[in-house]
Amino acid sequence: MKKLIWATGAGALALTMGLVLGAGDAASQATPAAPVHYEMDVGTASGMGLGAFGGGGVNIGALLSGRANEPRKELYLRLGSPQATPPNPAAQHFMPTGARLGASVPLITPTRAPDSERETIPGQERGERPSGRILLFWGCGAHAPAGQPVVIDLARISAGQVPTGLFSTSIPRDRSVSFANSRTYGDWPNGRSNAQVSSQSSLIGAHRVTGNYSPDIAFTLSQDFMPALSARSAANADGSMNLSWNAIAEATGYYAWTMGFRSNGRGSGGDIVWWTSSASQQFGGGLWDWMSPATVANLVRQRVVLPPATNSCIVPAEVRAAAPDAMFGNLYAYGPEADFAYPPRPANARTPWRPIWTARVRYRANTSWMVGGPGDAAGESASNSNQPAQPNCRRRRGGLGGVLGGVLGGGNGC
Protein backbone atom coordinates (compact mmCIF):
# COMPACT_ATOMS: atom_id res chain seq x y z
CA MET A 1 0.00 0.00 0.00
CA LYS A 2 1.36 3.40 -0.93
CA LYS A 3 2.19 5.76 1.89
CA LEU A 4 0.72 9.22 1.46
CA ILE A 5 2.38 12.25 2.98
CA TRP A 6 0.74 15.60 3.52
CA ALA A 7 1.67 19.26 3.69
CA THR A 8 -0.20 22.52 4.12
CA GLY A 9 -0.28 25.52 1.82
CA ALA A 10 1.94 24.88 -1.18
CA GLY A 11 2.16 21.27 -0.08
CA ALA A 12 -1.50 20.84 -0.93
CA LEU A 13 -0.59 21.20 -4.58
CA ALA A 14 2.33 18.85 -4.03
CA LEU A 15 -0.12 16.40 -2.51
CA THR A 16 -2.34 16.66 -5.57
CA MET A 17 0.60 16.37 -7.96
CA GLY A 18 2.09 13.49 -5.97
CA LEU A 19 -1.10 11.47 -6.05
CA VAL A 20 -1.38 12.01 -9.78
CA LEU A 21 2.20 11.45 -10.83
CA GLY A 22 2.71 8.58 -8.40
CA ALA A 23 -0.44 6.80 -9.53
CA GLY A 24 0.25 3.80 -11.66
CA ASP A 25 3.79 3.92 -13.03
CA ALA A 26 3.28 0.53 -14.63
CA ALA A 27 6.83 0.16 -15.86
CA SER A 28 8.26 0.47 -12.36
CA GLN A 29 6.55 -2.79 -11.42
CA ALA A 30 7.93 -4.71 -14.38
CA THR A 31 10.65 -7.32 -14.41
CA PRO A 32 13.59 -6.26 -16.62
CA ALA A 33 13.51 -7.87 -20.02
CA ALA A 34 16.60 -9.26 -21.76
CA PRO A 35 17.34 -6.28 -24.01
CA VAL A 36 18.97 -3.05 -22.92
CA HIS A 37 16.46 -0.21 -23.28
CA TYR A 38 17.17 3.45 -24.00
CA GLU A 39 14.73 6.36 -23.88
CA MET A 40 14.94 9.98 -25.00
CA ASP A 41 12.13 12.36 -24.06
CA VAL A 42 12.33 15.50 -26.18
CA GLY A 43 10.27 18.55 -25.30
CA THR A 44 9.62 22.18 -26.15
CA ALA A 45 8.30 24.20 -23.21
CA SER A 46 6.93 27.72 -23.51
CA GLY A 47 4.97 30.26 -21.52
CA MET A 48 5.31 30.83 -17.79
CA GLY A 49 6.50 27.29 -17.11
CA LEU A 50 9.42 26.32 -14.89
CA GLY A 51 11.66 28.82 -16.62
CA ALA A 52 9.91 31.56 -14.68
CA PHE A 53 10.31 29.76 -11.36
CA GLY A 54 14.06 29.60 -10.93
CA GLY A 55 15.12 28.40 -7.51
CA GLY A 56 11.56 27.76 -6.39
CA GLY A 57 10.42 31.37 -6.78
CA VAL A 58 8.97 33.44 -9.55
CA ASN A 59 11.59 35.15 -11.69
CA ILE A 60 9.68 38.43 -11.84
CA GLY A 61 12.24 39.98 -14.17
CA ALA A 62 11.74 37.15 -16.64
CA LEU A 63 7.96 37.43 -16.41
CA LEU A 64 7.83 41.21 -16.91
CA SER A 65 10.48 41.30 -19.61
CA GLY A 66 8.82 38.54 -21.60
CA ARG A 67 11.85 36.21 -21.35
CA ALA A 68 9.70 33.65 -19.51
CA ASN A 69 7.67 33.23 -22.70
CA GLU A 70 10.69 32.29 -24.78
CA PRO A 71 10.56 28.61 -25.82
CA ARG A 72 12.83 26.33 -23.82
CA LYS A 73 14.01 23.02 -25.22
CA GLU A 74 14.24 20.06 -22.85
CA LEU A 75 15.83 16.64 -23.10
CA TYR A 76 15.76 13.67 -20.73
CA LEU A 77 17.86 10.52 -21.27
CA ARG A 78 17.44 7.16 -19.51
CA LEU A 79 19.43 3.94 -20.01
CA GLY A 80 18.28 0.70 -18.40
CA SER A 81 20.15 -2.60 -18.44
CA PRO A 82 19.38 -6.10 -17.09
CA GLN A 83 23.10 -6.54 -16.35
CA ALA A 84 24.37 -6.35 -12.79
CA THR A 85 25.88 -3.01 -11.84
CA PRO A 86 29.67 -3.03 -12.38
CA PRO A 87 31.99 -1.52 -9.72
CA ASN A 88 32.20 1.76 -11.63
CA PRO A 89 29.16 2.06 -13.93
CA ALA A 90 29.76 4.46 -16.80
CA ALA A 91 27.84 5.39 -19.94
CA GLN A 92 27.64 8.37 -22.26
CA HIS A 93 25.58 9.65 -25.16
CA PHE A 94 27.48 11.06 -28.13
CA MET A 95 25.42 13.78 -29.80
CA PRO A 96 25.43 15.36 -33.26
CA THR A 97 27.28 18.67 -33.38
CA GLY A 98 24.02 20.58 -33.72
CA ALA A 99 22.96 19.54 -30.22
CA ARG A 100 25.51 22.02 -28.80
CA LEU A 101 26.13 19.75 -25.81
CA GLY A 102 29.77 18.96 -26.46
CA ALA A 103 31.05 15.65 -27.73
CA SER A 104 28.93 13.67 -25.26
CA VAL A 105 26.91 13.87 -22.06
CA PRO A 106 27.40 11.39 -19.17
CA LEU A 107 24.63 9.04 -18.08
CA ILE A 108 25.15 8.80 -14.33
CA THR A 109 23.95 5.89 -12.20
CA PRO A 110 22.23 7.33 -9.10
CA THR A 111 22.38 5.63 -5.73
CA ARG A 112 18.64 5.97 -5.18
CA ALA A 113 15.53 6.49 -7.29
CA PRO A 114 15.31 9.91 -8.96
CA ASP A 115 12.79 12.34 -7.48
CA SER A 116 10.46 11.74 -10.43
CA GLU A 117 10.04 8.13 -9.27
CA ARG A 118 9.75 8.74 -5.54
CA GLU A 119 6.28 8.79 -4.01
CA THR A 120 6.92 11.26 -1.22
CA ILE A 121 5.30 14.62 -0.72
CA PRO A 122 7.01 17.60 0.96
CA GLY A 123 6.00 18.10 4.57
CA GLN A 124 6.09 14.47 5.69
CA GLU A 125 8.89 15.13 8.13
CA ARG A 126 6.84 17.83 9.90
CA GLY A 127 3.68 15.73 9.97
CA GLU A 128 1.62 18.53 8.42
CA ARG A 129 -1.94 17.97 7.28
CA PRO A 130 -3.72 20.17 4.76
CA SER A 131 -7.14 21.70 5.06
CA GLY A 132 -9.46 22.98 2.39
CA ARG A 133 -11.04 21.36 -0.64
CA ILE A 134 -10.28 20.31 -4.20
CA LEU A 135 -13.09 20.99 -6.67
CA LEU A 136 -12.87 18.84 -9.81
CA PHE A 137 -14.43 19.90 -13.13
CA TRP A 138 -13.90 18.39 -16.59
CA GLY A 139 -15.02 18.70 -20.18
CA CYS A 140 -15.18 21.51 -22.75
CA GLY A 141 -18.37 23.57 -22.77
CA ALA A 142 -19.93 26.83 -21.61
CA HIS A 143 -21.39 25.23 -18.48
CA ALA A 144 -20.43 22.28 -16.29
CA PRO A 145 -22.79 19.29 -16.55
CA ALA A 146 -24.88 18.10 -13.63
CA GLY A 147 -22.83 16.23 -11.06
CA GLN A 148 -19.89 18.65 -11.16
CA PRO A 149 -17.86 19.59 -9.33
CA VAL A 150 -16.68 16.55 -7.44
CA VAL A 151 -15.59 17.94 -4.07
CA ILE A 152 -12.61 16.43 -2.26
CA ASP A 153 -12.02 17.25 1.41
CA LEU A 154 -8.24 17.49 1.91
CA ALA A 155 -8.53 16.88 5.65
CA ARG A 156 -10.34 13.59 5.03
CA ILE A 157 -7.76 12.51 2.45
CA SER A 158 -4.95 13.26 4.91
CA ALA A 159 -6.68 10.96 7.38
CA GLY A 160 -6.40 8.15 4.84
CA GLN A 161 -9.87 8.39 3.27
CA VAL A 162 -8.73 8.52 -0.36
CA PRO A 163 -11.66 8.16 -2.78
CA THR A 164 -11.28 5.33 -5.28
CA GLY A 165 -10.72 6.39 -8.87
CA LEU A 166 -9.89 9.96 -7.85
CA PHE A 167 -7.07 10.45 -10.35
CA SER A 168 -5.94 8.93 -13.63
CA THR A 169 -4.69 5.56 -12.44
CA SER A 170 -6.08 4.20 -15.72
CA ILE A 171 -3.45 6.23 -17.61
CA PRO A 172 -0.11 5.28 -16.03
CA ARG A 173 3.16 6.86 -17.02
CA ASP A 174 4.64 4.92 -19.91
CA ARG A 175 8.25 4.37 -18.87
CA SER A 176 10.05 1.40 -20.37
CA VAL A 177 13.21 2.59 -18.57
CA SER A 178 13.26 3.50 -14.89
CA PHE A 179 15.50 3.11 -11.86
CA ALA A 180 13.03 0.59 -10.44
CA ASN A 181 12.87 -1.78 -13.41
CA SER A 182 16.59 -1.80 -14.32
CA ARG A 183 19.39 -3.70 -12.61
CA THR A 184 21.70 -0.91 -13.78
CA TYR A 185 20.35 2.53 -14.62
CA GLY A 186 21.83 5.81 -15.86
CA ASP A 187 20.26 9.15 -16.73
CA TRP A 188 20.85 12.73 -17.81
CA PRO A 189 20.52 15.56 -16.76
CA ASN A 190 22.39 14.87 -13.57
CA GLY A 191 24.58 16.56 -10.97
CA ARG A 192 27.84 15.80 -12.80
CA SER A 193 27.08 17.54 -16.07
CA ASN A 194 26.75 21.28 -16.57
CA ALA A 195 25.69 20.92 -20.21
CA GLN A 196 22.31 22.45 -21.04
CA VAL A 197 20.10 22.24 -24.07
CA SER A 198 19.93 25.66 -25.72
CA SER A 199 17.29 27.29 -27.86
CA GLN A 200 19.57 26.64 -30.87
CA SER A 201 20.07 22.93 -30.14
CA SER A 202 19.11 20.39 -32.80
CA LEU A 203 18.95 16.63 -32.40
CA ILE A 204 18.94 15.77 -36.10
CA GLY A 205 21.80 13.45 -37.01
CA ALA A 206 23.69 10.43 -35.67
CA HIS A 207 23.48 9.38 -32.00
CA ARG A 208 25.56 6.79 -30.19
CA VAL A 209 25.30 5.50 -26.63
CA THR A 210 28.15 3.53 -25.07
CA GLY A 211 28.65 2.07 -21.62
CA ASN A 212 30.24 -0.69 -19.57
CA TYR A 213 26.86 -2.21 -18.74
CA SER A 214 25.29 -2.03 -22.23
CA PRO A 215 26.15 -2.74 -25.86
CA ASP A 216 26.79 0.16 -28.22
CA ILE A 217 23.52 1.74 -29.31
CA ALA A 218 23.46 3.74 -32.56
CA PHE A 219 20.62 5.44 -34.44
CA THR A 220 19.94 8.52 -36.56
CA LEU A 221 17.19 11.05 -35.89
CA SER A 222 15.38 12.94 -38.63
CA GLN A 223 12.77 14.51 -36.31
CA ASP A 224 13.85 17.58 -34.30
CA PHE A 225 12.24 19.41 -31.36
CA MET A 226 8.58 20.25 -31.93
CA PRO A 227 7.58 23.88 -32.52
CA ALA A 228 6.53 25.88 -29.46
CA LEU A 229 2.93 26.05 -28.29
CA SER A 230 1.29 29.42 -27.73
CA ALA A 231 -2.01 29.48 -25.81
CA ARG A 232 -4.25 32.18 -24.45
CA SER A 233 -7.57 32.46 -22.65
CA ALA A 234 -10.36 35.00 -23.19
CA ALA A 235 -13.42 35.63 -21.03
CA ASN A 236 -16.80 35.18 -22.69
CA ALA A 237 -19.92 37.20 -21.92
CA ASP A 238 -21.60 34.19 -20.28
CA GLY A 239 -18.76 33.81 -17.77
CA SER A 240 -17.10 30.90 -19.53
CA MET A 241 -13.56 31.17 -20.88
CA ASN A 242 -12.25 30.29 -24.32
CA LEU A 243 -8.84 28.61 -24.58
CA SER A 244 -7.17 28.74 -27.97
CA TRP A 245 -3.75 27.77 -29.29
CA ASN A 246 -1.67 27.49 -32.43
CA ALA A 247 -1.89 24.27 -34.42
CA ILE A 248 1.24 22.10 -34.52
CA ALA A 249 1.52 19.82 -37.55
CA GLU A 250 3.33 17.06 -35.62
CA ALA A 251 0.78 16.96 -32.79
CA THR A 252 -1.12 13.70 -32.28
CA GLY A 253 -3.51 15.23 -29.73
CA TYR A 254 -3.92 17.93 -27.05
CA TYR A 255 -4.76 17.95 -23.35
CA ALA A 256 -5.48 21.13 -21.37
CA TRP A 257 -5.98 21.78 -17.69
CA THR A 258 -6.34 24.78 -15.41
CA MET A 259 -5.85 25.14 -11.69
CA GLY A 260 -7.42 28.02 -9.79
CA PHE A 261 -7.82 29.12 -6.19
CA ARG A 262 -10.29 30.69 -3.80
CA SER A 263 -9.36 31.82 -0.30
CA ASN A 264 -11.83 31.38 2.53
CA GLY A 265 -10.41 34.44 4.33
CA ARG A 266 -9.88 32.58 7.62
CA GLY A 267 -6.10 32.24 7.43
CA SER A 268 -6.08 28.56 6.42
CA GLY A 269 -7.85 26.27 4.01
CA GLY A 270 -9.57 27.40 0.83
CA ASP A 271 -10.39 25.79 -2.48
CA ILE A 272 -8.19 24.39 -5.24
CA VAL A 273 -10.27 24.36 -8.43
CA TRP A 274 -9.02 21.89 -11.03
CA TRP A 275 -10.44 21.52 -14.54
CA THR A 276 -9.33 19.36 -17.48
CA SER A 277 -10.38 19.19 -21.12
CA SER A 278 -11.10 15.46 -20.88
CA ALA A 279 -14.72 14.44 -21.44
CA SER A 280 -14.38 12.10 -18.45
CA GLN A 281 -12.86 12.44 -14.99
CA GLN A 282 -9.21 12.04 -15.99
CA PHE A 283 -6.66 14.13 -14.11
CA GLY A 284 -2.90 13.95 -14.52
CA GLY A 285 -1.12 10.59 -14.40
CA GLY A 286 0.45 9.73 -17.74
CA LEU A 287 -1.34 12.70 -19.31
CA TRP A 288 1.41 14.93 -17.86
CA ASP A 289 4.17 12.83 -19.37
CA TRP A 290 5.29 11.83 -22.86
CA MET A 291 2.90 9.42 -24.57
CA SER A 292 3.22 7.26 -27.67
CA PRO A 293 1.09 8.06 -30.73
CA ALA A 294 -0.76 4.75 -30.31
CA THR A 295 -1.67 5.60 -26.72
CA VAL A 296 -2.77 9.10 -27.72
CA ALA A 297 -4.90 7.77 -30.59
CA ASN A 298 -6.69 5.47 -28.17
CA LEU A 299 -7.28 8.35 -25.72
CA VAL A 300 -8.63 10.51 -28.55
CA ARG A 301 -11.18 7.78 -29.29
CA GLN A 302 -12.11 7.76 -25.59
CA ARG A 303 -12.42 11.59 -25.67
CA VAL A 304 -9.79 11.92 -22.96
CA VAL A 305 -7.39 13.71 -25.34
CA LEU A 306 -8.56 16.33 -27.85
CA PRO A 307 -8.07 15.42 -31.55
CA PRO A 308 -5.01 16.85 -33.34
CA ALA A 309 -7.22 19.12 -35.49
CA THR A 310 -8.53 20.90 -32.36
CA ASN A 311 -7.22 24.37 -31.51
CA SER A 312 -9.72 25.62 -28.90
CA CYS A 313 -11.77 24.53 -25.90
CA ILE A 314 -14.27 26.36 -23.67
CA VAL A 315 -13.74 26.26 -19.89
CA PRO A 316 -17.13 26.22 -18.12
CA ALA A 317 -18.33 29.39 -16.40
CA GLU A 318 -18.63 27.51 -13.11
CA VAL A 319 -14.87 26.86 -13.11
CA ARG A 320 -14.00 30.52 -13.45
CA ALA A 321 -16.58 31.55 -10.84
CA ALA A 322 -15.21 29.02 -8.33
CA ALA A 323 -11.63 30.34 -8.63
CA PRO A 324 -11.65 34.15 -8.47
CA ASP A 325 -8.27 34.62 -6.74
CA ALA A 326 -5.83 33.14 -9.26
CA MET A 327 -5.78 30.67 -12.12
CA PHE A 328 -3.07 28.99 -14.17
CA GLY A 329 -3.51 27.34 -17.56
CA ASN A 330 -1.57 24.40 -18.99
CA LEU A 331 -1.61 22.73 -22.39
CA TYR A 332 0.17 19.65 -23.79
CA ALA A 333 0.66 18.74 -27.44
CA TYR A 334 1.75 15.12 -27.76
CA GLY A 335 4.05 14.37 -30.67
CA PRO A 336 5.57 11.60 -32.78
CA GLU A 337 7.82 8.75 -31.71
CA ALA A 338 10.90 7.18 -33.29
CA ASP A 339 11.78 3.56 -32.48
CA PHE A 340 15.02 1.69 -33.13
CA ALA A 341 16.31 -1.77 -32.29
CA TYR A 342 19.15 -4.15 -33.06
CA PRO A 343 18.63 -6.46 -34.73
CA PRO A 344 15.64 -4.74 -36.33
CA ARG A 345 12.18 -6.19 -35.81
CA PRO A 346 11.43 -8.78 -38.56
CA ALA A 347 8.76 -7.87 -41.10
CA ASN A 348 7.05 -11.20 -40.41
CA ALA A 349 5.47 -11.01 -36.95
CA ARG A 350 5.80 -14.78 -36.58
CA THR A 351 9.58 -14.67 -36.91
CA PRO A 352 11.27 -14.94 -33.49
CA TRP A 353 12.82 -11.62 -32.44
CA ARG A 354 15.30 -11.20 -29.61
CA PRO A 355 16.72 -7.67 -29.79
CA ILE A 356 19.97 -6.86 -28.04
CA TRP A 357 18.87 -3.26 -27.51
CA THR A 358 15.93 -0.97 -28.20
CA ALA A 359 15.77 2.83 -28.28
CA ARG A 360 12.68 5.03 -28.15
CA VAL A 361 12.53 8.79 -28.78
CA ARG A 362 9.33 10.63 -27.88
CA TYR A 363 8.36 14.24 -28.54
CA ARG A 364 5.96 16.74 -27.03
CA ALA A 365 5.36 20.48 -26.58
CA ASN A 366 3.73 22.15 -23.60
CA THR A 367 2.95 25.64 -22.43
CA SER A 368 1.58 27.32 -19.30
CA TRP A 369 0.35 30.79 -18.48
CA MET A 370 -1.34 32.85 -15.79
CA VAL A 371 -4.96 33.44 -16.71
CA GLY A 372 -5.45 37.19 -16.86
CA GLY A 373 -1.69 37.73 -16.59
CA PRO A 374 0.57 39.63 -19.00
CA GLY A 375 -0.46 39.00 -22.59
CA ASP A 376 -3.58 36.99 -21.70
CA ALA A 377 -6.96 38.24 -22.90
CA ALA A 378 -8.96 36.85 -19.97
CA GLY A 379 -7.80 39.64 -17.70
CA GLU A 380 -8.43 42.26 -20.36
CA SER A 381 -12.03 41.05 -20.73
CA ALA A 382 -12.75 40.56 -17.04
CA SER A 383 -14.05 44.11 -16.55
CA ASN A 384 -16.67 43.43 -19.23
CA SER A 385 -17.97 40.26 -17.58
CA ASN A 386 -19.33 39.26 -14.19
CA GLN A 387 -16.01 37.66 -13.22
CA PRO A 388 -13.78 39.29 -10.57
CA ALA A 389 -10.57 40.82 -11.91
CA GLN A 390 -7.29 39.01 -11.32
CA PRO A 391 -5.21 40.30 -8.39
CA ASN A 392 -1.96 42.15 -8.97
CA CYS A 393 0.64 39.58 -7.87
CA ARG A 394 3.81 41.43 -8.78
CA ARG A 395 4.89 41.63 -5.16
CA ARG A 396 4.66 37.87 -4.60
CA ARG A 397 7.90 36.63 -3.07
CA GLY A 398 7.35 32.91 -3.55
CA GLY A 399 6.73 30.87 -6.66
CA LEU A 400 3.64 28.88 -7.52
CA GLY A 401 3.82 27.43 -4.04
CA GLY A 402 3.75 30.95 -2.62
CA VAL A 403 0.59 31.73 -4.50
CA LEU A 404 -0.93 28.51 -3.19
CA GLY A 405 0.14 29.37 0.30
CA GLY A 406 -1.52 32.75 0.03
CA VAL A 407 -4.76 31.30 -1.26
CA LEU A 408 -5.00 28.37 1.13
CA GLY A 409 -3.66 30.39 4.00
CA GLY A 410 -5.97 33.38 3.50
CA GLY A 411 -5.76 36.59 1.52
CA ASN A 412 -5.90 37.00 -2.22
CA GLY A 413 -2.87 34.92 -3.11
CA CYS A 414 -0.55 37.93 -3.57
pLDDT over 80 (residue 135): yes
Q: Looking at the predicted structure, is the pLDDT value of residue 62 above 50?
A: no
Between 319 and 387, the higher pLDDT residue: 319
Name the average pLDDT for the chain.
78
Output the pLDDT for position 118: 52
pLDDT tier at 285, thresholds 50, 70, 90: confident
161-171 confidence digits (pLDDT tens):
555 555 555 67
Lowest pLDDT segment from 17-31, 58-72, 285-299: 17-31
How confident is the model at residue 284, as a pLDDT?
77
What's residue 193's pLDDT?
Answer: 87
Q: For residue 291, count other CB atoms closer than 10 A to its CB.
A: 26
Asked if pLDDT for residue 122 goes beyond 90, the answer is no
- Contact partners, residue 353, CB within 8 Å, separation at least 6: 343, 345, 346
Using CA atoms, how far residue 350 sits from 33, 68, 343, 345, 346, in Å, is 20, 52, 15, 11, 8
Domain chopping of the chain, boundaries: 10-340+354-408
The answer to whether the beta carbons of residues 406 and 270 sit under 8 Å apart is no
Q: Which of 11, 122, 6, 19 is nearest to 408 (CA)?
A: 11
Per-residue confidence (pLDDT) for residue 63, from 0 to 100? 46
Choice among 60-64, 107-111, 208-212, 275-279 with the minimum mean pLDDT: 60-64
pLDDT in tens, 176-234: 899 989 999 999 999 888 889 999 999 999 999 999 999 999 999 999 999 999 999 99
Question: Contact at 8 Å (CB) between 22 and 2?
Answer: yes
Res. 240: pLDDT tops 90? yes
Q: HSE on the CB side for 5, CA within 13 Å?
A: 14
- Tally the C-alpha atoms within 13 A of residue 396's C-alpha that lie toward its C-beta: 28
Please state, in angstroms and rounded to a whole number, the distance separating the CA atoms of residues 219 and 216. Answer: 10
pLDDT, residue 30, reads 37
388 prior amide bond cis, ω within 30 = no
pLDDT in tens, 47-61: 875 433 333 334 444
The model's pTM: 0.79
pLDDT in tens, 352-409: 999 999 999 999 999 999 887 766 766 544 434 343 333 333 333 333 344 334 434 4
* In the predicted structure, residue 145 carries a pLDDT above the cut 90: yes
